[in-house]
Chain A
Amino acid sequence: MVGPGSGAAPLENANPLIYRRSGERPVTAREEDDELPDAIDDREIFDLIRSINDPEHPLTLEELNVVEQVRVKVNDAESTVSVEFTPTIPHCSMATLIGLSIKVKLLRSLPERFKLDVHITPGTHASEHAVNKQLADKERVAAALENSHLLEVVNQCLSARS
């Protein structure tokens, strides 16, 4: 688990608080019924992003409380998704990378009709505005993903835990 920030530089937040992982979503009888449609709900979106790995720690975003289900809002009918994430410390230099990972994961996992909004929980990061702007800029996100090194790091965050 080698993130870009590790190596010689010490971890910014060496001893984070760890939160409990929520279990697998139990499968309901309704979900097993072939006929009834299941709407895309908050928990489903949360399940997509909760297991993303943190770039620095061998932990998931859920375990670090970077993402929480209450900060995920989805409207299936209007095809909008909004995700707020909370960096572990206000000066976290990984905020953009985390945001990008969430965004890429959602891009890959959601139908194209959805409009995505990924941003930092208000008041939890020093350069909140700048990061949000970057994440909202489609061209910059696309350009970032052209960068093969960066893509590699993002894929690492998205890979299933070994």
Chain B
Amino acid sequence: FCLENTDPRMRGRGIQLLSQVLLQCYSLLQEKEVLHLVLFYESRLQDHHLVIPSVLQGLRALSMCKVLSPGLAVSVLKAIFQEVHVQSLMQLDRHTVYSIITNFMSTREEELKGLGADFTFGFIQVMDGEKDPRNLLVAFQIVRDLIAKDYALGPFVEELFEVTSCYFPVDFTPPPNDPHGIQREDLILSLRAVLASTPQFAEFLLPLLIEKLDSELQSAKLDSLQTLTACCAIYGQKELQEFLPSLWSSLRREVFQTASEKIETECLAALHALSACLSRSVLSSDSEDLLDSFLSSILQDCRHHLCEPDMKLVWPSAKLLQAAAGASLRTYHRITRSVLPLLLEQYTKHTQSSQRRTILEMLLGFLELQKKWGHVEEDESTLLSLQAPVCSVVFSALTDPSVQLQLVGIKALTLLGSLQGFLSSSDMELVVDHLIRLTLHEKDSQSSEAAMEAAGSLAPTYPKVFSGRMVPRLEEELQSGRAGKGESYHNHCSSQQRCLQALAAVSTHTSIVRETVPVLLQHLQKVQKGTEARNTQDMVSVCQSLHRVALQCQQDVEACWYFHQTVVPCLLAMAVQAAMQGNTHMLPGKALLEEEVLCAMIPVISAATTHLSPELAAQSVSHVVPLFLDGEVSFLPQNSFPCSFQPFGDGECLEAQRRLVALLMAFVCSLPRDVAIPQQEWLLRELLALSCSCNCPFTATTAAKCFAGLVNKHPAGQQLDEILQLAVNRMEPGLAEGPHRMQALTLLLWVRLALDEWGRGARGPSLAPTALPAQVTKALVLRYHPLSSCLTDKLLGLLGDTELGPAAADGFSLLMAESPDVLHKGCHADVRIMFRQRFFTDNVPKLVQGFHGAGPDVKANYLKGLSHVLNHLPKTVLVTELPTLLSLLLEALSCSDHVVQHSTLSCLHPLLLEAPQIMSLHVDTLVTKFLNLTSSPTMAVRIAALRCAHALTSLPTTVLLPYKGRVIRALAKPLDDKKRLVRKEAVAARGEWSVCGSSS
């Protein structure tokens, strides 16, 4: 029988078999059987060393038995501790021992604790000398459990510390292709958890940390600092007491001297943790408060540096002080009590703006900490007692001629304003006056913009002061007559511009919005009536301001509804009014209908609509849609118009009214999904007709977009299919011939786009795209696949059309781009990326095929389409697809169309950087073509060609050297290009080629 064979190998095999069996069936064993087996295995531990691995396997199986009788765990462990010299075993067998211990620790905690410190000692012997990272991770976990579960350490604390701390700092680089995937970081974190698990280690650990912190090794320093920070979470004053002076001096030295930002950050974190730990410690009656003396030494060492704003140590000192001050309310008071008066005094002492700026920036750092403690406490706060000097310093910064100082001043002001109860109402009035002055009269635009932002962030806290002081002042300025007081016209415009911006910026509270919106609308009306040439630009500016206000209102239900209710009818009324004024050109007010202005109104209406609640939106939609379909004008503010409003009616004179479809689009396409649109089918039909038959490209495109936007949200079903079929029916003859081919193409593109998005749209807004299984997404897109691929094919076919080809090629850019205008809803961007790849795999072969079969006059269209597709493809996909397409791209470089040239160059640029090996094969062609294109008549092409020539330098030097002379000579010519931007690229490219081949 094997188990008793005299040959240890045979015995070993026998036991191995038994152990294997046990590992499979340990859960089925009876208590008695387990007892016998345990006794057997224990006795085998004394056997030949060849047998031991199998014995341990068996014991591991038994350690997992639930029915192990009490006492057996202890006896197994005792036997192992006694009989086995663990560290002379193989890695796997050592791991088995750790597993046995872990198993027992998790199931027999009470029994093991009965062993007392012997268990700890036994384990120390087991792990002493362990080298394998896999085992160390387990061993560290065991130590952590020993400490966390409160096993008796007895006299062995120091031994336990020694046996683990000898690995600190961890120095381990995983071998390449390591299958176990243990990283250095894993070991570091695991060891840190052990070392920082008990205050009992403190007396041994802290000297070690200080020693490593003083070493030269960067990683050792970092590890020590992070471990120290971790320790502070559980240490108290008692543990730290002895080591505080040397810890502080090491930290200070590092922050003052280090060049590494990382070390500085960790030092500051450690100081923060130390201060926090000391602040937290409960004092016994007889001990002194160490925090006080610790902070005193910090202050003593850092304070004087603050007085020398030219010196290098100002910032490190300030950062140290701030790290300590941020630890607790006590440290904050202690430090600011000493530092703030000093800084204020220094500020007045120094007169140079740059020094004042440094001081104010430090002050700002301390003020920021105050925010952490919430409102200012009256009796304790140093800050409150310094209120007057702080304010005067900040105000003086605001009037300083240095822009940089002003900017810091504005930041400080914003901060002071956000501290509740710090600024009195009279101070606040002063603050607002300063902000008004900076906004309106400061020359530097940076300062005035910062002042506007400050006003915007303070306004919600002090709405009264802002609506009472700032808004009227801005209004007055806005209305002040044109070019009065000897102001130049240009100056006047820029001040109007600033007023508009400021009005928008300060509208961050409902009560202020109620004041500013009427001012803005009034101004818009005034401008509309004016006759000056800049009207268009002014109206666009007002719309931009309104847009900003709309965005700021979106989160506030009340403000949002107010804005919608006030602005949307007003804009519509103004537009309708303008459109009614007949066809006489150059009438005042007509400017409102210019494309530029309408395009500026679209985002205003859209932003005012997207965040409406469904009920309110439904209320609004019941006014707006009848306005367009039935000419129902009664809800508009001034509703007496000379004739009726029929944007969908026939007739030449209605051209102007039709343009307003843009505003309808802005509204209906921004509505929440679940809002039903009255008379939707009628509306869709009208839009379809308009998009196919209107002569004005702007109107036709807008109608097509609006149609697409509605289709996109349309629920699936027969109705949708019908309307789509109708669209296809209208589109096809339109595309074939007639004056409206372009319009039909636009419609095709937008419908195609709407179908792409439709899959996403139909899901409803509440589902996050990531939460949706891929096959569902695909299924939804696939449902309309027949039609959308049919439309794509149509588009591909049009590339061969001499008239529509170029536009069709540009259409590919639209299809590939980020969801534009009306289809831009919720950023489901990741789906779009997949979509692009699909589009690429589905259609690029067709494009390539079409290219080869096409006549010479339309070949460029295919190349253009291709380059649009490639341009929008993720670079990683592009690089993998490169070999098949490269020859075509190289051919495209010779194409005479500059759009093709430009987009091909921008495709090649990343490839040069990311796939230099493949590109090296074509270096000859590339060099020649790039150099040729540097003299293209189009600036953008010249720039792109030079960038590519520059990127060529990332190819291997040996490939480049033969061309070096030629390229440098050829690049001399673009150095004298008439355009500065081209010269800049030429300089960069030639400079890089000049050093090519030198060893640096």
Contact = CB atoms under 8 A, between A and B. Distances in A.
Contact of A38 (B938, B980, B991, B1000): B980
Nearest to A27: B981
Contact of A109 (B939, B978, B990, B1000): B990
A30 to B, nearest CB: 9
B945 to A, nearest CB: 15
A108 B995 CA distance: 10
A110 interface: yes
A159 interface: yes
A52 B939 CA distance: 27
A152 B990 CA distance: 17
A34 interface: yes
B987 interface: yes
Contacts of A112: 972
A132 interface: no
A110 B972 CA distance: 8
B998 A155 contact: yes
Contacts of A113: 976
Given A38-B978, A111-B972, A152-B999, A44 B983 contact: yes
Interface string B967-996: 000001001101111011001001100110
B980 A155 contact: no
A158 B990 CA distance: 12
Size category of the B interface is 10 to 19
A48 B987 CA distance: 8
A117 interface: no
Interface in A135-162: 151-152, 155-156, 158-159
B990 A34 contact: no
Contacts of A155: 995, 998, 1000
A32 B938 CA distance: 11
A110 B973 CA distance: 10
A122 to B, nearest CB: 28
Interface in A22-41: 27, 31-32, 34, 37-38, 40
B976 A111 contact: yes
Nearest to A109: B987
Contacts of B978: 37-38
A34 B972 contact: no
Interface string A88-126: 000000000000000001001111110000000000000
A91 B949 CA distance: 42
A34 B995 contact: no
Contact of A40 (B938, B983, B995, B998): B983
Contacts of B979: 31, 34, 37-38
A67 B978 CA distance: 26
Given A34-B938, A38-B978, A159-B1000, A108 B994 contact: yes
A32 B998 CA distance: 35
Interface in A59-104: none
B991 A108 contact: yes
A109 B980 contact: no
Contacts of A151: 998
Interface string B588-602: 000000000000000
Contact of B980 (A31, A108, A152): A31
A154 to B, nearest CB: 9
Given A109-B987, A155-B995, A155-B998, A31 B976 contact: no
B939 A108 contact: no
A13 B994 CA distance: 31
Contacts of B972: 111-112
A38 to B, nearest CB: 4
Nearest to B986: A109
Interface string B748-779: 00000000000000000000000000000000
Contacts of A152: 998-1000
Interface residues of A, number: 23
A155 B994 CA distance: 9
Contacts, number: 47
Contacts of A159: 995, 1000
- Give the interface SS of chain B, mostly helix, strand, loop or mixed: helix
Contacts of A105: 991
A14 B718 CA distance: 81
A80 B995 CA distance: 25
A36 B990 CA distance: 24
A34 B939 contact: yes
A109 B981 contact: no
Contacts of B939: 32, 34
B939 to A, nearest CB: 5
A103 to B, nearest CB: 13
A109 B998 contact: no
Nearest to A38: B980
Nearest to B978: A37
Contacts of B991: 105, 108-109, 158
Given A31-B980, A31-B981, A109 B995 contact: no
A32 B990 CA distance: 22
B975 A111 contact: yes
B941 to A, nearest CB: 10
Q: Which has the most chain B C-beta neighbours within 10 Å: A40, A47, A111? A: A111
A108 B165 CA distance: 58
A104 to B, nearest CB: 9
A17 to B, nearest CB: 9
A157 B256 CA distance: 29
Nearest to A107: B994
Contact of A110 (B938, B975, B980, B981): B975
B210 to A, nearest CB: 30
Nearest to A41: B980
Nearest to A153: B1000
A94 B853 CA distance: 65
B990 to A, nearest CB: 6
A109 B984 CA distance: 9
A109 B971 CA distance: 10
Contacts of B999: 152
Nearest to B981: A31
Contact of B1000 (A31, A40, A156): A156
A113 B991 CA distance: 18
Contacts of B980: 31, 38, 40, 44
A23 B733 CA distance: 57
A105 B987 CA distance: 9
A47 B985 CA distance: 13
Contact of A108 (B938, B983, B990, B998): B990
A18 B976 CA distance: 33
A38 B979 CA distance: 5
A31 B980 CA distance: 7
Contacts of B975: 109-111
A156 B998 CA distance: 10
A64 to B, nearest CB: 16
A74 to B, nearest CB: 13
Contacts of A38: 978-980
B981 A32 contact: yes
Contacts of A111: 972, 975-976
A109 B658 CA distance: 55
Nearest to B937: A34
A76 B429 CA distance: 54
Contacts of A40: 980, 983
Interface of B: 938-939, 972, 975-976, 978-981, 983-984, 987, 990-991, 994-995, 998-1000
Given A34-B939, A156-B1000, 20 more contacts: A27-B981, A31-B979, A37-B978, A37-B979, A38-B979, A40-B983, A44-B980, A105-B991, A108-B990, A109-B975, A109-B987, A109-B990, A109-B991, A111-B975, A111-B976, A152-B1000, A155-B995, A158-B995, A159-B995, A159-B1000
19 contacts: A32-B981, A34-B938, A34-B939, A37-B978, A38-B980, A44-B983, A47-B984, A109-B987, A109-B990, A109-B991, A111-B975, A111-B976, A152-B999, A152-B1000, A155-B1000, A156-B1000, A158-B995, A159-B995, A159-B1000
A-B CB proximity, top 7 nearest: A111-B976, A37-B978, A38-B980, A109-B987, A34-B939, A155-B995, A111-B975
